[in-house]
Amino acid sequence: MSTRISKMMSVRRPTLVSRKVLIDSLVRLNPLRLVANPVMLLVEITFFIVVAMAIYPEGFPRLANVSLQFFYVEVALILLITVWFSTLSDALAESQAKNTANSLRRLEMEVSSKKILIEAGSRRIVPTPSRELRKGDLILLEKNDTIPIDAQVLEGIAMVDESLLTGESTAVRKAPGDDVIGGSQVLSDTLTAKVTVNPDETFINQMIRMVESSKRPKTPNEQAVTIVLIGLTAIFTILIGALLGMSLVLSLAADLSVLIALYVCLLPTTIGALLPSIGLSGISRLYKEKIVAKSGRAVETAGDTDVILLDKTGTITVGNRQAVEFLPFPGFTEKDVGEAAFLSSWHDDTPEGRSMIRLAYENGFVPKEMNSLDASEVYEFSASTRTSGVKLAGGTGFMLPKSGGTGRERGRLRRKFEPHVEGGVPIGSDETEIIKGAPDAIKRIVKSVPANYDTIVQKISAAGDTAMALSRNREAIGIVRLRDVLKPDIKEKIMAVKVMGIRPVMITGDQPLTAKSIAAEVGIDEFQPEAKPEDKYDIVKREQAETRIVAMIGDGTNDAPALAMADVGLAMNSGTQAAKEAANMVDLESNPAKIIEVVMLGKQLLMTRGAVTTFSIANDVAKYFAIMPVLFASTVPELKALNVLGLGLNTAVLSALIFNAIIIPLLIPLAMRGVTFKPSGTMTLFLKNTMIYGIGGVIIPFVGIKLIDVAISLL
Amino acid sequence: MGWKEYFLTALIVNIFQMAIAFVIFSFQGVLPLNPQGFPGLSWDLAFMQAISFGTNTNLQHYNGEGICKQLPNCTSLTPGFPGLSYLSQMMAVQFLQFTSATTGICVAVAMIRGFITHSKDLGNFYVDFTRSLTRILLPLCFLASMVFVGLGVPQTLTGYQSITHTVEGATQTILVGPVASLVGIMQLGTNGGGYFGANSAYPFQNPSPASDIFQIFLMLLIPTSLCFVFGQLIGKKRETRPILWSAYALFALDLLIAFTPNFPVVGPGIEVRFGGFFSVFWTVVTTAVTTGSLNASLSGLNPLVILTAFNGMLIQATPGGKGVGVMYMVMFIVLTVFIVGLMSGRTPEYLGLKITVRDVKLVMIAFLVHPVIVLIPTVLAYSTGAASAIGVGTNSVGFTKIFYEFTSAAANNGSDFLGATANTPFFNISTAIVMFLGRFTPIGLLLALGGSMINRKRLTTEAGVRTDSPLFALILVGSILVLVLLTFFPFLALGPILGFFQGRVNGF
């Protein structure tokens, strides 16, 4: 099941230029479709002018030369190719986005649902495709049904598998009032639920709509870059217009096609061509991470993050503790502790419990009482006592399970352990009672507390670990050391965040000593121990009051106010509806560590836009030196001294134009993939990128144009 | 006052002041203090000169010392060149030189106020104006004038003196008037309009090397001080650095280019009173701060020196004119922080203020003003035949003259090649429009920029691009050069650059 899903989720690598993309890019050459991209529209207009010059040069007295008709054809061709490269980039970005959307849409499987109709007091079940369900409809969910749509449970209790959406394989218990998510599966029992969304309003659908919307609203940053683009276009239009006027009134005999070549070379064609695809591919990249953003703006804000709130569990640690050591009290051996841990955890399905059994087993501490475990009485964990345990019948005593042997049946033997109830559960002479729990809870039930009890517990806490105490027949026998397991790569990620000047703050419910130790281990200086969900809200408020941009993750309803207030809020899809609605992004895979990737992506988007803009402007310097010497060659030959590259007079214009065109497809991968960068401080990134795209942007065209010129003259 | 109110107040006050000057210029013939009996200026010249002085440009299409027929021993001057009476020199020229310089300081400070934390508005124009005038310019100019009088610059209302016993025994007219008081404000206020047509190349306006150096000092004084005022007002003195460093780096670059030619920088037959070094140095300074005064004829300078003059006028922030220099530098910083700063991976910010779409729009339009008002009139001057009407050729020399005229007008600089020969309706009206737009459009836009910074959320974090680092100043210089050169390179190529390659010294 899960592999099938992951296959569906993974975006098929688009073949670089498919036939469909090619056709689409040609269709986009239609001038009416270019209106949205004024720079390219201008280039296309100049193309038509040069075509006219090639066909009928006599129509351009003093501006065109009949003997240059072939040259005009060449210029026109390159101009058209320039526009085509731009439309190709658009078509590519859009097809990539569509592919992503389609692969995500397949997630929304068309399933048949059981709609409940209430007619004249009787209920009737009507099979209905999930697409036809509407908000408020009642549906019946039976064992093995796939839940067709997000809904709220009205009646019944059932186990639901949400692994499809959360990646967590444990079944979740759903009771009236809980939300169930479309796409998850009912494992047992029957539910009646009320549909909470219309089919189009599900998150996946919202996301797909946004990807596919061609009128995606521009982010403020995109708008500002567009203004620079328009401003530069206006400046160069005035300049070339004035130059044309000067050429005519001073009889400088500039050829119109060369003037047009200069114009097109100066126009910010590179930004104009790539700007739309940078934004679109940013969204695509986000969706490849399986994150739904409600707007592109939130992603870019993420790039500005100053403070990032990280939940310890799930983000920094894998989410559960692992037993790593058995520490016996005086009079007991490690084996005693290990066996007790084994027995007490046999019925404990939590990751902690399983890890204790594993550790005991690995050390060879397999208790002989194991045989009687099935006949044991289980004390379920209770939040009030913070203990759980087991009572074993003595010797070879054997109790038949009522029926079957699964955990569910075993559960019937379970009962609440109430140690403080007078005359609670008497311990028979041949019975063994093992209780495990928080050290202070065990301390309260044992007959006598060993002298070094507190010291050991404190030492464990100080090391950042958690202590779990074990008692056998109301006698403290030892402590199990449970350790938080760090997520792989988390240290590097935190390091990267810190290097970029972002302050990570760890939020955890652990006590201060434990929190401090884990924070120190991953390199976090700031943490909030014993945190309640409301604390997140306070931290967000406090940091924002100091004008910092705060990013955080959350999943519970308690997190919703903080998520809504944070500048960047990433909700887990496994979380509650309230959290998802408050956040401006939702992670479908519910992996809280992704907040770091979101921040990086935001930065990358801004960087890419800046890099292409700077590069494009810096490129113009070289083009002047290529074209100016030729422009007035016949009347002011002295300007040939500007020909520092030693280009051929006949090939210089074509070389500059070809470079101008070819740089677009060369930069398409950069626009789609984004500027690659090593995490480092703002100033370092700024200087590094300025070196590459600013100074490089001045130098590269000199080299490129010269190379193209040499190549042309060889032909 | 909000930015709109501040701007409109400044504009209306300035227009009113210019109107007073227009009346004085037009009716100086019948007004007192006119011992030479100069007639009133023609309406188009009076209009142009009122705007010229009112916009801190001081482009002069007249020779202040006057026309030939009033002079007893006239041989050289062409009759018909208008002169100015003492009243016009004092009540119109000097008056506007004071008010325009004061306005420059006011609007710059007002714009800076927008960037200051906790400022509620841009200030009160009347208060700013009165204080700048009475506490800075008047006292400084009084002192400067005293120094000039001490150095031998005339300050009198007695009228021109005839001396009959020269060395050759001939009669000579000594052109005197209230010169010293005018020279003080014209240099200190980066105005540049001289008492005499030959400006500070004329001995009575600039008698000695000492007065020459003192005038260079006066030109640089306030524009440089305003860079420090910026940091002081913002409350972060380190923020003076990008403005000051970039301005002086560009200035140094201009000096380097100007002194590069290994053939004589000053051509034959030209005023060489202060020699090549001081003539070239002065020319670079006067355009770097857009004063526009001269101590040698531009026609005699090497085209590369002229190129650096263009550089100063096209950038206008090296360190630029009174007040507006700082404003232009802020414009360039905002543009650079936005375009280049994006590559830091954060929303660009300057002084803790995030650059918004509106800011980019404002600076882009402010940047666009210059090419429009320089390039279009240059083409018009030729296409309407106005250039050939005053005998300007179509070669690189002629083109440089026309291009310089409008660049100087747009930059509110005021030096020019044409001088009184450009006293034609076309040049008077076209330069008047260019000067007016070149002055008040960017001021309005940049005041709007300052105004929009008020009440904006300020980031106290210092996580953005550090604008006070030397490397940023270097990048700023690079981006200014690229932006300005990209905009004007073809025209510069047809003018001074072509002149340089043709091996010509302009005019010869």
Does B481 reach chain A within 8 Å, measured CB to CB? no
pLDDT tens, position by position, A346-356:
877 777 888 88
For chain B positions 363-392, those within 8 Å of chain A (CB to CB) are 364-365, 367-368, 371-372, 375-376, 378-379, 382-383
- Assigned domain for A663 exists: yes
In this predicted model, which residue has the larger pLDDT, A299 or B92? Answer: B92
**Do A47 and A129 have their domain in common?**
no
B25, B369, B385, B416 from B62: Cα distances, Å: 12, 28, 21, 12
Q: Is 70 exceeded by the pLDDT of residue A4?
A: no
pLDDT tens-digit map of B55-96: 999 999 988 887 555 555 555 444 456 788 899 999 999 999
Select from A156, A177, A201 the last residue of a domain.
A201
pLDDT given for residue A296 in this prediction? 75
Strands B353-354 and B349-350: antiparallel
A311 is an active site residue = yes
How many domains does chain A divide into?
3
Average pLDDT, chain B: 88
The dihedral region occupied by A523, where left means phi > 0, alpha psi between -120 and 50, and beta the remainder, is left
Above 90 in pLDDT, residue B54?
yes
For A623, the closest chain B residue by CA position comes to B486
Query: How far is Cα of residue A167 from the mean position of the Cα atoms in its chain?
Result: 15
pLDDT tens-digit readout, B482-508? 999 999 999 999 999 998 888 754 433
Closest CB to A228: pick one of B360, B460, B475. B360
Does residue A546 fall inside a structural domain? no
Does residue A418 share a domain with residue A468? Answer: yes
Residues 61-120 of B with CB under 8 A from A: none
Q: Answer whether residue A496 is part of any domain.
A: no
Tokens of A504: 């990570």
CB atoms within 10 A of CB B231: 19
Strand partners, A327: A479
Model-level ipTM above the cut of 0.85: yes
Contact B184, B218 (CB under 8 A): yes
For residue A497, being part of any structural domain is answered with no
pLDDT of residue B437: 97
Burial class (CB within 10 angstroms; exposed 0-12, middle 13-18, buried 19+) of A72: buried
CB-nearest partner of B371 from A235, A250, A698:
A235
Judge whether B474 is closer than 8 Å to chain A, CB to CB.
no
CB contact under 8 A, B375 and A242: yes
* Closest residue on chain A to B365 (Cα): A231
Q: Do B345 and A243 touch (CB under 8 A)?
A: no
Lowest mean pLDDT among A80-84, A197-201, B277-281: A197-201
Q: Do the beta carbons of residue B472 and residue A561 sit within 8 Å? A: no
pTM of this prediction?
Answer: 0.84
Same-domain check for residues A224 and A362: no
Q: What is the pLDDT of residue A505?
A: 92
Options A90, A137, A161, A311, the catalytic residue: A311
Q: Work out the mean pLDDT of chain A and round it to a whole number.
A: 82
Same domain, A282 and A428: no
In a domain, A415, yes or no: yes
Residue A58: both structure tokens together: 């006599």
What does the CA dihedral B300, B303, B309, B310 come to, rounded to 10 degrees? 130
* pLDDT computed for residue B404 by the predictor: 95
Q: A131 with A153, same domain? A: yes
Q: Do A235 and B347 touch (CB under 8 A)?
A: no
Do the strands A568-572 and A585-587 form a parallel or antiparallel pair, or are they unpaired? parallel
Residues 626-645 of A with CB under 8 A from B: 628, 631-632, 636, 638-639, 641-642
Rounded CA separation B335/B355 (Å): 9
Any B CB within 8 A of A696 CB: no
In eight-state DSSP terms, residue B457 is: P
In b/e form, how buried is each residue of B299-314, taking b as 16+ CB within 10 angstroms?
bbbbbbbbbbbbbbbb
Same domain, A279 and A371: no
Task: Please check the confidence at residue A140 and state whether its pLDDT lies above 50.
Answer: yes
**The residue type at A188:** S
A328 and A369 both lie in a single domain = yes
Nearest to B368 among A235, A266, A687 (CB): A235
Give the domain CATH number at A195. Answer: 2.70.150.10
Is the sign of the CA dihedral A477, A483, A484, A485 positive or negative? negative
Considering CB atoms only, which of B344, B360, B482 is closest to A617?
A: B482
Question: pLDDT-derived band of residue A429, with 50, 70 and 90 as boundaries?
Answer: low
Give the pLDDT confidence of A398-423 residue by residue, as tens digits. Answer: 443 444 444 443 433 444 444 443 33
Going by the DSSP 8-state scheme, the letter that residue A40 receives in this structure is H
Chain A, residues 34-73, CB within 8 A of chain B, namely none
CB contact under 8 A, A242 and B347: no
Q: Are residues A348 and A467 in the same domain?
A: yes
Residues A122 and A70 in one domain: no
Kindly list the strands in the beta sheet with A387-392, ordered across the sheet, starting from the edge strand earlier in the chain: A317-328, A475-486, A466-472, A432-437, A387-392, A377-382, A415-416
pLDDT at residue A467, rounded to an integer:
87
Mean pLDDT, residues A138-149 taken together: 83
pLDDT digits (tens, 9 = 90+) for B101-142: 999 999 999 999 999 877 788 999 999 999 999 999 999 999
Counting every residue written for chain A, the total comes to 715
Query: What is the distance between the alpha carbons of residues A602 and A520, in angstroms, rounded to a whole number?
Result: 28
Question: Could you report the per-residue pLDDT of B372-394, keeping only the tens digit for each?
Answer: 999 999 999 999 999 988 888 88
Query: Crossing angle, helix A220-249 and helix A269-288, to 10 degrees?
Result: 160
Q: Is the pLDDT of residue A1 over 50?
A: no
What pLDDT, on a 0 to 100 scale, did the predictor assign at position B175?
A: 84
- Residue A396 pLDDT: 41
Which residues of B fall within a CB distance of 8 Å from A641? Answer: 501
Q: Using a CB–CB cutoff of 8 Å, tell me whether B464 touches chain A.
A: yes
Q: Nearest CA to CA, how far is B118 from chain A (Å)? A: 15
Burial of A4 (0-12, 13-18, 19+ CB in 10 A): exposed
Contacts of B467 in chain A (CB under 8 A): none
A624 and chain B: CB distance < 8 Å anywhere? yes
Q: Does the CB of A439 have a partner CB in chain B at under 8 Å?
A: no
Tell me if chain B has a CB within 8 Å of the CB of A459. no
Which of the listed residues A201, A217, A245 is the one where a domain comes to its end? A201
pLDDT at site A573: 74
Tokens encoding A37: 């991209």
Question: Would you say residue A595 lies in a domain?
Answer: no
**pLDDT value, residue B315:** 94
Domain assignment of residue A107, yes or no: no
Residues of B in contact with A607 (CB under 8 A): 342-345
Q: Which amino acid is at A625?
A: F
| Beta-sheet strands, E only, within A236-278 | none
Q: Which of A227, A501, A609 sits opposite B463 (nearest CB)?
A: A501
Task: Tell me the mean pLDDT in the region B221-242.
Answer: 92
Among B148, B173, B147, which residue's Cα sits nearest to residue B158? B173
Looking at residue A232, its pLDDT comes to 95
d(CA A382, CA B411): 81
Q: A636 and B498 in contact by Cβ < 8 A?
A: yes
Q: Is residue B370 pLDDT above 90, yes or no?
A: yes
pLDDT at position B136 is 93
Specify whether A240 is located in the same domain as A372.
no
Interface contact B342-A606, CB threshold 8 A: yes
Instruction: Give residue A656's pLDDT.
Output: 95
Statement: residue B17 has pLDDT above 90: yes
Q: Please answer yes or no on whether B342 and A609 come within 8 Å at the CB atom.
A: yes
- Are both A435 and A465 inside the same structural domain? yes
Cα atoms in the 13 Å half-sphere on the side-chain side of B233:
19
CATH number reported for the structural domain that contains residue A389 in this entry: 3.40.1110.10
Percent of chain A with pLDDT over 90: 25
Q: Closest Cα of chain A to B301: distance in Å?
A: 20
Mean per-residue pLDDT, B252-257: 92
Residues A197 and A219 in one domain: no
CA distance A262 to chain B (A): 10
Q: Is the pLDDT of residue A156 over 70?
A: yes
pLDDT at A212: 60
What residue numbers bound the domain in which A151 lies?
Answer: 112-201
Is residue A375, in this structure, part of any structural domain at all? yes
Question: With an 8 Å Cβ cutoff, are A547 and B382 in contact?
Answer: no
Rounded average pLDDT over A659-665: 95
Considering only CB atoms, which chain B residues are within 8 Å of A618?
482
Q: What is the mean pLDDT of residues A572-578?
A: 73
Q: pLDDT tier at A61 (50, 70, 90 boundaries)?
A: confident
